[in-house]
Amino acid sequence: SGTRREELLIEDVTLQKVWTMRRMIDALGGGMDALQPLLERLSRTRTNDEFLSTLHLSM
């Protein structure tokens, strides 16, 4: 779809982190149970970049 052209809008390093986040959500089964740890982590960061940089740390 035309909306999935994010590789044209986002830097490669950031895009890799976004894909990592999506894989994490998928691995946790999706839904709110999967999102809760990410939302908690997001609430402890100031910026999207800071949040994405924490994804390599264990959940």
Reading the chain (59 residues) residue by residue, the pLDDT tens digits are: 556 788 888 999 999 999 989 998 999 898 888 889 889 999 999 999 999 999 887 65
Q: What pLDDT shows up at residue 7?
A: 85
Please report the beta strands in the chain, taking only residues with DSSP state E, as ranges in sequence order.
none
Q: Which domain holds residue 26?
A: 9-52
Q: Which two tokens stand for residue 18?
A: 């976004």
2 located within any domain = no
59 located within any domain = no
39 located within any domain = yes
Angle between helix 31-43 and helix 12-27 axes, rounded to 10 deg:
130
Contact (CB, 8 A) for 11 and 2: no
40 located within any domain = yes
Q: What pLDDT shows up at residue 34?
A: 86
34 located within any domain = yes
29 located within any domain = yes
Q: In the chain, how many domains are there?
A: 1
44 located within any domain = yes
Q: CB burial class (10 A; 0-12, 13-18, 19+) of residue 51?
A: middle
3 located within any domain = no
